Amino acid sequence: MTQTTATQTGISLIEAVTQAMAYELAHDPDVLIMGEDIGKNGGVFRATLGLQERFGTRRVMDTPLAESMLAGMAVGMASQGLKPIIEIQFMGFIYPAYDQIVNHLSRLRNRTRGRLSCPVVIRAPVGSGIRAPEHHSESTESIFAHIPGLRVVIPGSPARAYGLLLAAIRDPDPVIFLEPMRIYRKVKQIVPDDGVALPLDKCFVLKEGTDVTLISWAASLMETMQAAQTLEKEGVSAEVIDVASIKPLDIDSILASVEKTGRCVIVHEAPRTCGVGAEIAAQIAEKALLSLRAPIMRVTGYDTIMPLYRLEYEYIPSEVRILDAVREALAFG
Amino acid sequence: MTQPMSKIVAEFQIEYIQYLQPDGEPIQALPAFANDIALLQDLYKWMLRTRIFDQKAIALQRTGRLGTYPSSQGQEAIAVAIGKALRPDDVMCGYYREFGAHLQRGVKMEEIFQFWGGDERGSCFEHCIDFPHAIPIASQYLHGAGVAAAFKLRDEPRCALTIVGDGGTSEGDFYEAINVAGCWDLPLICMINNNQWAISVPLKEQTRTQTLAQKGIAAGMDCLQVDGNDVIAVLDVLYRALEKARRGEGPTLIEAITYRLGDHTTADDARRYRDEAEVEQAKEAEPLIRMRRYLEKQHAWSEQEEQAWTKTCQDDIEAAVERYVAIEPQPVTAMFDYLYGNMPKEIQEQREQALMYAGTAVSPH
Amino acid sequence: MTTIFKLPDLGEGLPDAEIREWYVKVGDEVKIDQVLASMETAKAVVDVPSPRAGKIKKLYGQDGDVIITGQPLVEFEGNATEDRPDGGTVAGALEVGNELVAETAVVATGKTQTTQVKTTPAVRQLAQQLNVDLNHVSGTGPQGMVTAADVRAFYEGKTTADQTRPATAHGKTETIKGLRRQMAISMAAAHAEVVPVSIVDDVIIQFKKEEVTERMIRAIVYACKEEPALNAWFDGQAGQRTLHSDVHLGMAIDSEEGLMVPVIKSVQDKINDPAQLRQTINEYKELAQSRRFAADQLKDATITLSNFGRFAGRYASPVVVPPQVAIVGVGRFAEQAVVVNGQLCARFVLPISLTMDHRAVTGGEAARFLAALLKDLST
């Protein structure tokens, strides 16, 4: 299905994002990218590195400093058949655009009964752990997951970033594509530039197991996988699921796993109250209660303002906390 | 098609104020306060102190003792003039390049280090009533309008001053703030630090307007440009604007023209997107040099004094660094203790949980 | 920034300073504030830090040389800017890793092969309390789930299955429930599995007939010590036998509803206190009438005693219930005519029946066990 060449080297998650955007820019003349510092500078995380040189200033555009303008312009451009990819520099700066996203991007198709729609991708780095200043470490995906008409996607690896971003760009509806900064450059994978998209609305199984289902997304997948390895050594077989498509949720895959293991622990960096974990827990309770051998556990960020970087690792759900939650679930028998 | 007949219903003019040229020579008679040579020396000393502080902060970041830090190099005149012009009971709502004002207004150096060093206590401002740094661009403009509105509602002769970068004048919050300030005659000084660059976006790609100052015309307020590297000019326009506001005559928009000599932050590298030659040229117009030249011509400054004051500043800064480095880290409970005036039960429970896990996570910091 | 660093005034207008010691050499990469040299002035020895990061190109003097204030001290290489690798961000610091990892993620299919038994948490708890294995209980609830009633029914042998009538019933037909049903199930299961062999014998007793139960228990304990093979569990499927050191004695007790077999745990520790043992036996008899035994009082017997001869019957082949391998039966005892030392006389005789599972117990083991029983009973 995929071809690799002898000369292929691994790429990081951010490079996979670049690769996906470059592929779509090359194959779809309606695709364009807008954002602050994305042209000459290649983006503050280098997501658009080299793209303006390759595709020109009509396809890769630096804009004035205004997030609401970016989202609102995207509505207008998309209505005319363009497919804008908007970059918001950090999730903490997306809130001025929230009005346009909620009031228009998510609704234009519904409002016009399909006559107009918004094939827009809004990309933003999400999460913490990189010693950044205030406001640069947000995890507020649930305020977008709450909005009907939006898709929310969070890739957990370079390969998934490539495949899911291609799918997002090709999707006819608005996708909030959140990229976990902490794993932007953490590891490399071989990701063939073959233009093959991954399915939206599907979870990914990172590890099969039989005793407990660990459900996570974004950078918390790191601590979750570490916990799974530790549990393996203790004789507990954990299944690890990357939700990836936060909205719409592939609840069937989650249910199938919970029906198999009977126990689940949901891990996310976002604050606990009304986090996406709450929605997943409610659906598991509704539809798989009969398979549960223990309460659904959540290991999440606290209901606090994201602290400045000195305390950020006290906040981020740690492997220790995940292991404790698993053991608590196992204790129910 | 022929043009129809029409009449001009509105016109505007934007004034530009400058006193000292880059070579230190006055272009016109200086304002009265310039006769107070001690004041001018003080202005220069604050600019130099700010510059040295700024360099030290960068050094701390480079040696891992500070997180990302935004340099104010080249823009010292603006902040120092603000710090000199404002009264203690005025309130400043700045963004993050006003160290020269903060240091004059009672913010401790170690508090500034703490904020950029990842410790919220850096915004406690034990001796200053200003707003903390505002990172979401232009959001502080609305806060300044709110503060000014409070002063006006209470008939207090106090002013609010807010300041934004050239990039920030593209944000909606900027327009909403100046609109209401003009509409309500708020005692608000609206400043723009036009340092020509919004990270990598130069001014000409930010807006088509000829001056940023004229954006105030659309808000119905007085607006003007000033040479932001001429501390005497900036101080002069500020004094006037503040007096006017205190008399109840409304807001002023001041565009201070300067140049961002450093990178956007310590994590940026401006060489990626701008010409070194342009930077070198801008250095010739920078604020410290011209003020020093003027003072030296007045025999009010010398190399010896430069060295001595530099050493004093360095000593003060080193002492502040020592205090900063020695500060006890916040306990994990600090995450919870300042969310609400009265702590809800669910927060209490999570606080206890966090205490249980304190110190167990693997942190690279 | 210039590339030449001139000696600053090291304190209050000092004209010069002597290089005491260089801490760097040509070619070194230095950081901002890194100490370049130790300089001695008229007043003090002072460390001179580097004003910038960079590579040392030239040192303007050697140890011992005097440098005039304001004159070149160190030259840095290249143009006046620092060489920094592209950190790839404008805020924060990304961790950059070069480890090449495989992608283990597979698109989820939403299907699973194995599933948990479908039931609610409350029912799971009930099953735990009653020591019922949910995997053995068939569910009659929604979606085929196991209900609490299903669990209780399994435990007590009740069922809510359809009642069927044989076509040619003449008497009153009822569906058996409770202990009777349990008996039908467990006897059938035992019959299917066990290979029973019975040996019977008589023993002349000298104790009072009221003490029969306690003496039987004592005798069983003694016999288990002598021949442990009959105090064991046998798993035919796994081919495993577990010899027990404890004797958990199942006591078959008849009640209105049917047979119950409560277990006296570790009865070997209790035979030294006959009064206590008597009390325990009486308690069990009472509990059997009200059927109020706790779940764990009814399980884990290692050998069973059946006092079946209350009304009639001398010898029997009582059923061995797996995983046990033996059951001891006592029939109706009465005064009988026996010959002692060549003389005919009347004595109380206890008829003893022993059934064992010949898959696990040999004839010899059974015989020795029986002999030990008789020996203890005859004293």
Residue-wise pLDDT for C309-335, tens only, equals 888 899 999 999 999 999 999 999 889
A:B CB pairs within 8 Å = 134
Q: What is the pLDDT of residue A5?
A: 46
Q: What is the pLDDT of residue B365?
A: 64
Residue of B102, B260, B290, B351 marked catalytic? B260
In this prediction, residue C287 has a pLDDT band, given cuts at 50, 70 and 90, of: confident
pLDDT greater than 60 at residue C241 = yes
B255 shares a domain with B208:
yes
Sheet-wide strand order for C29-30 = C4-6, C72-76, C54-59, C29-30
B357 shares a domain with B250:
no
Beta bridge partners, B3, equal none
B164 shares a domain with B283:
yes
Beta bridge partners, A298, equal A266
B258 shares a domain with B127:
yes
Q: Residue C197, SS3?
A: strand
At C64-118, the pLDDT tens digits run 899 987 788 999 886 544 556 677 778 888 888 888 999 999 999 988 877 889 9
Q: What is the pLDDT of residue B302?
A: 97
At C361-376, the pLDDT tens digits run 999 999 999 999 999 9
Cβ atoms of C36 and C29 within 8 Å: the answer is no
Tell me how far apart the alpha carbons of residues C94 and C82 are, in angstroms, rounded to a whole number: 20
CA nearest to A123, candidates A145, A146, A90, A92 = A90
User: Poorest-confidence range of A3-7, A278-282, B263-267?
Assistant: A3-7
Tell me how far apart the alpha carbons of residues A106 and A103 are, in angstroms, rounded to a whole number: 7
Please judge whether A131 and B118 are an interchain contact, meaning their C-beta atoms are less than 8 angstroms apart.
yes
- What sign has the CA pseudo-torsion B251, B254, B260, B261? negative
- Chain C neighbors of A132, CB-CB under 8 A: 91-92
* DSSP calls for B238-268: HHHHHHHHHTT---EEEEEE----S-SSTT-
Q: What percent of chain C has pLDDT over 90?
A: 46
CA nearest to A245, candidates A286, A297, A280 = A280
pLDDT greater than 70 at residue B73 = yes
Cβ atoms of A172 and A117 within 8 Å: the answer is yes
CA nearest to A308, candidates B133, C106, B303 = B133
pLDDT greater than 50 at residue B320 = yes
Q: What is the pLDDT of residue C14?
A: 65
At B324-334, the pLDDT tens digits run 999 999 999 99
Q: What is the pLDDT of residue C142?
A: 84
CA nearest to B90, candidates B249, B241, B194 = B241
In this prediction, residue B211 has a pLDDT band, given cuts at 50, 70 and 90, of: very high
pTM assigned to the model: 0.72
Question: How much is the average pLDDT of B287-301?
Answer: 97
CA nearest to B252, candidates B183, B157, B181 = B181
- Give B274's contacts (C-beta < 8 A, 6+ positions apart): B197, B200, B202
Tell me how far apart the alpha carbons of residues C283 and C278 are, in angstroms, rounded to a whole number: 9
Task: Report which secondary-structure segment, H or E, holds C155.
Answer: helix C148-156
In this prediction, residue C13 has a pLDDT band, given cuts at 50, 70 and 90, of: low
B308 shares a domain with B197:
yes
Distance from CA of B341 to the nearest CA of C (A): 31
B226 shares a domain with B339:
no
CA nearest to A49, candidates A40, A61, A36 = A40
Alpha carbon C57 to its chain's center: 72
Q: What is the pLDDT of residue C51?
A: 74
114-143 of B, contacting A, C-beta below 8 A: 115-120, 133, 135-137
Tell me how far apart the alpha carbons of residues B35 and B25 are, in angstroms, rounded to a whole number: 15
Exposure of A49 in the CB half-sphere (CA atoms within 13 A): 14
Please judge whether B264 and C90 are an interchain contact, meaning their C-beta atoms are less than 8 angstroms apart.
yes
Q: What is the CATH number of the domain that holds B27?
A: 3.40.50.970
User: Poorest-confidence range of B61-70, B147-156, B288-297?
Assistant: B61-70
Q: Which two tokens stand for residue C56?
A: 């040392």
In this prediction, residue C289 has a pLDDT band, given cuts at 50, 70 and 90, of: confident
- Chain C neighbors of A131, CB-CB under 8 A: 92-93
Q: What percent of chain A has pLDDT over 90?
A: 96
B339 shares a domain with B287:
no
CA nearest to A291, candidates C123, C150, C128, C130 = C123
B360 shares a domain with B233:
no
B296 shares a domain with B361:
no
Task: Report which secondary-structure segment, H or E, holds C191.
Answer: helix C178-193
Q: What percent of chain B has pLDDT over 90?
A: 95
pLDDT greater than 70 at residue A305 = yes
Q: What is the pLDDT of residue A4?
A: 43
- Chain C neighbors of B307, CB-CB under 8 A: 8-9, 13
B1 CB-contact burial (10 Å; exposed 0-12 / middle 13-18 / buried 19+): exposed
How many C-beta neighbours within 10 Å does residue B89 have?
11
122-161 of A, contacting B, C-beta below 8 A: 131-136
pLDDT greater than 70 at residue A18 = yes
B226 shares a domain with B97:
yes
Q: What single letter denotes the amino acid at residue A120?
A: V
- Chain C neighbors of A204, CB-CB under 8 A: 105-108
| ω into C121 cis (within 30 of 0) | no
Return the residue in B200, B279, B286, B307 with the most chain C beta carbons within 10 A, the one to mutate for interface testing: B307
Calculated CA dihedral for residues C18, C24, C27, C29, nearest 10 degrees? -130
Tell me how far apart the alpha carbons of residues A294 and A207 are, in angstroms, rounded to a whole number: 21
Choose the closest CB to A206 out of C89, C98, C104: C104
Question: How much is the average pLDDT of B119-146?
Answer: 96
Q: Residue B26, SS3?
A: strand
- Pick A27 or C279 by higher pLDDT: A27
In A19-165 the beta strands, taken as DSSP E runs, fall at 31-35, 60-62, 83-87, 121-126, 151-153
How confident is the prediction for chain B on average, in pLDDT?
A: 96
Please provide the distance, in angstroms rounded to a whole number, between the alpha carbons at the two ends of chain A: 43
User: Poorest-confidence range of B262-266, B282-286, B354-358, C13-17?
Assistant: C13-17
Q: What is the pLDDT of residue C278?
A: 87
- Pick C165 or B118 by higher pLDDT: B118
At C336-359, the pLDDT tens digits run 999 989 999 999 999 999 999 999
Residue of A135, A136, A146, A268 marked catalytic? A136
Tell me how far apart the alpha carbons of residues A28 and A84 are, in angstroms, rounded to a whole number: 11
At C145-182, the pLDDT tens digits run 999 999 998 988 744 443 444 455 567 777 777 778 77
Distance from CA of B364 to the nearest CA of A (A): 8
Task: Report which secondary-structure segment, H or E, holds A225.
Answer: helix A220-233
- Give C308's contacts (C-beta < 8 A, 6+ positions apart): C252, C316, C318, C329, C330, C331
How confident is the prediction for chain A on average, in pLDDT?
A: 95
Q: Name the maximum alpha-carbon separation found in chain A.
A: 61
Give chain B's length. 365
Range of the domain at B348: 330-365
Cβ atoms of A149 and A185 within 8 Å: the answer is no
Tell me how far apart the alpha carbons of residues C145 and C143 are, in angstroms, rounded to a whole number: 5
Q: What is the pLDDT of residue C84?
A: 67
Indicate the pairing of strand B188-194 with strand B160-165: parallel
Tell me how far apart the alpha carbons of residues A280 and A282 are, in angstroms, rounded to a whole number: 5
- Would you call A67 an interface residue with chain C, using a CB distance cutoff of 8 Å? no
Alpha carbon B140 to its chain's center: 11
B17 shares a domain with B122:
yes
Please judge whether B67 and C86 are an interchain contact, meaning their C-beta atoms are less than 8 angstroms apart.
no
Please judge whether B117 and A68 are an interchain contact, meaning their C-beta atoms are less than 8 angstroms apart.
no
Cβ atoms of A20 and A27 within 8 Å: the answer is no
How confident is the prediction for chain C on average, in pLDDT?
A: 86
The owner of tokens 């107009």 is: A116
B154 shares a domain with B30:
yes
A136 among known catalytic residues: yes
- Total of domains in chain B: 2
What chain C residue is nearest to A204 in terms of C-alpha separation? C107
